[in-house]
Amino acid sequence: MLDSTITQFIAEQQERITGTEPHIAFSAEEYASRLTRLQRAMAEDGIDTLVLSSPEAQNWLHGLALRWYKANGPTDWRPLTCTVVRADAGYILFEGVEHSEMIRRTSAAEDVRLLPRYERDGMLRFIVKEIASEGWVGGSVVGLEMFSAIPNPAVSKMMEGALLDAGARVVDGTLTSRRVRLMKSPAELEAVKKAAEICDAGLLHLGSVLRPGMTELEAHGELIRGLSAAGGEPAGLHQVAFVGLAALGVYHEISGHRIITEDDFLDVDPCGVYKRYHSNRSQMYTFKEPPQGAVDLLEVLTGGFDILTERARPGVRIGDVNAELYAYYRDAGVFDLNSSVWIGGYEMGIAFPPDWVGEWKFTVVGGEDDDRVFEAGTVANFESMCGIGLLDTFVIEEDSTHLLSKLPHEIMVVGQ
């Protein structure tokens, strides 16, 4: 029997927790609009029932935001947090009872069905039984997000088998889920622009404290301090700070114990994050005036952004812009200096670990045959790279295409 003081303590703290106001990211009207868009896409793709398993899709639809989705845990703790959507009805959020408070705080879902705490091994049966009782399985085309990291391949096969056994025809619904997230609503654009402000603040903070003798990890810590102080949330990828030049083979390195000397360049590649929306911007730092060659190279790389923001407008063929960009970089001699470099961009938006790279992308080299067109509401980064990696995020709106960062494309001289 617990002491009465312990019982009272637990009860008081539980009351404090459940009395906390929810922090759901968007309005009920915004989420209702998103459901309508998703159901329209499902109807277009012939999908009756769609199982959303990725954190990004569920966050987009109703706001759920967790830090753990059981992605790589014990094999009997299966990653089955999911939202099942019906094209002609609503949706059901399935989770364990242990996350009920986090659902209350972050999700606008109204139909939430929770599995008791110690019945994890019955979660899949529970989900299939519940949606079958709604008439959402037998004789239905059911889509799964087969390109999502969650659930893992073993659990994905289990889910597919259980649905087939229940009389469904199972198809890949990944692109049905992803394409509705490409064009951002006004509320989403507002969040992305706030994320860009946060990213700029983090970069400026790092510049104000960076000194020779710090390690990459210490620089990384200061970058996170600046992003967090500006309201930034944890990002989907490691916010790297490293010694060297990005496009010379080290851009996907993890920050380590290397000491930054007064002769080094420090390169960082962060995202500002707000309401889980990401905005990407790179920055190089040096403790001395940079060599003229570095200044000249950065000017060349900046020129690619000028072409992009001038030409990438709604309705313009992507291949035509790729061709102009390719000719620009070719004539500048970029490909002679680094033939393996990638120049292009990818969608920015909602992201959870382990990634922030979105579905939509464009590639300049070999991209002149791309017959898609740019669309208003698209938010993506652009990577203009040759030795130096110059990354920034742009948004295409009805009347203009512009960069979200307000910082100049310059090497930042610090520590003086």
CATH classification at residue 125: 3.40.350.10
Q: Are 297 and 263 in contact (CB under 8 A)?
A: no
User: Rounded to the nearest 5°, which phi and psi values hold at 121?
Assistant: -70, -10
Scan for tokens 């990653």, then name that residue.
Answer: 79
Please state, in angstroms and as integers, the Cα–Cα distance from residue 109 to each residue in 32, 133, 143, 152, 218, following that order.
10, 19, 20, 24, 40
Tokens of 249: 């083979």
**Percentage of the chain with pLDDT > 70?**
98
Question: Do residue 144 and residue 191 come from a single domain?
Answer: no
Asked whether residue 247 carries a pLDDT value surpassing 80, the answer given is: no
pLDDT tens, position by position, 149-166: 999 999 999 999 999 999
Question: Do residue 268 and residue 368 come from a single domain?
Answer: yes
Q: Which ranges constitute the DSSP H helices of 182-289?
A: 186-209, 216-229
pLDDT tens, position by position, 274-331: 999 999 999 999 999 999 999 999 999 999 999 999 999 999 999 999 999 999 999 9
The pLDDT assigned to 1 comes to 63
The pLDDT assigned to 205 comes to 98
Paired strand residues for 408? none
Question: Do residue 322 and residue 360 come from a single domain?
Answer: yes
pLDDT tens, position by position, 5-56: 998 988 888 888 888 899 999 999 999 999 999 999 999 999 999 999 999 9
Question: In which domain, by residue range, is 137 found?
Answer: 4-179
Question: Do residue 116 and residue 223 come from a single domain?
Answer: no
- Report the number of distinct structural domains present in the chain: 2
Task: Give the separation between CA 68 and CA 83, rounded to whole angstroms.
Answer: 16
Scan for tokens 């961009």, then name that residue.
Answer: 345
Look at residues 149, 179, 209 and tell me which one is the last residue of a structural domain. Answer: 179
Average pLDDT over residues 203-220: 97
Cβ-based burial of 159 (10 A; exposed 0-12, middle 13-18, buried ≥19) = buried
DSSP string for residues in 186-213: HHHHHHHHHHHHHHHHHHHHHHHH--TT
Question: Do residue 352 and residue 371 come from a single domain?
Answer: yes
Question: Do residue 51 and residue 35 come from a single domain?
Answer: yes
Tell me the pLDDT band of 252, cut-offs 50, 70 and 90: confident
pLDDT tens, position by position, 42-97: 999 999 999 999 999 999 999 999 999 998 888 888 999 999 999 999 999 999 99
The pLDDT assigned to 329 comes to 95
Q: Which amino acid is at 331?
A: D
Question: Do residue 212 and residue 304 come from a single domain?
Answer: yes
The pLDDT assigned to 80 comes to 95
Q: What is the DSSP letter of 67?
A: S
Asked whether residue 267 carries a pLDDT value surpassing 90, the answer given is: yes
Question: Do residue 218 and residue 336 come from a single domain?
Answer: yes
The pLDDT assigned to 335 comes to 86
SS3 assignment, position 93:
strand
Task: Give the separation between CA 241 and CA 222, rounded to whole angstroms.
Answer: 10
Question: Do residue 252 and residue 337 come from a single domain?
Answer: yes
Look at residues 136, 158, 179 and tell me which one is the last residue of a structural domain. Answer: 179
SS3 assignment, position 240:
strand
Dihedral of the CA atoms 201, 206, 207, 211 (nearest 10)? 170
Question: Do residue 116 and residue 213 come from a single domain?
Answer: no
Cis peptide before 22 (omega within 30 of 0): no
Q: Which amino acid is at 395?
A: V
Average pLDDT over residues 384-409: 95
Q: Are 61 and 34 in contact (CB under 8 A)?
A: yes
CATH of the domain at 384: 3.90.230.10
The pLDDT assigned to 416 comes to 65
Task: Give the separation between CA 108 and CA 24, rounded to whole angstroms.
Answer: 7
Asked whether residue 108 carries a pLDDT value surpassing 70, the answer given is: yes
Record the pTM: 0.95
User: Is the torsion defined by CA of 248, 254, 257, 262 positive or negative?
Assistant: positive
Tokens of 322: 């790729």
Question: Do residue 74 and residue 220 come from a single domain?
Answer: no
The pLDDT assigned to 251 comes to 76
**Radius of gyration over alpha carbons of the chain, in Å?**
24
Look at residues 144, 179, 214 and tell me which one is the last residue of a structural domain. Answer: 179
Task: Give the separation between CA 45 and CA 48, rounded to whole angstroms.
Answer: 9
Angle at 284 between CA 278 and CA 290, to 5 degrees: 160
Question: Do residue 386 and residue 355 come from a single domain?
Answer: yes
pLDDT tens, position by position, 335-349: 888 767 889 999 999
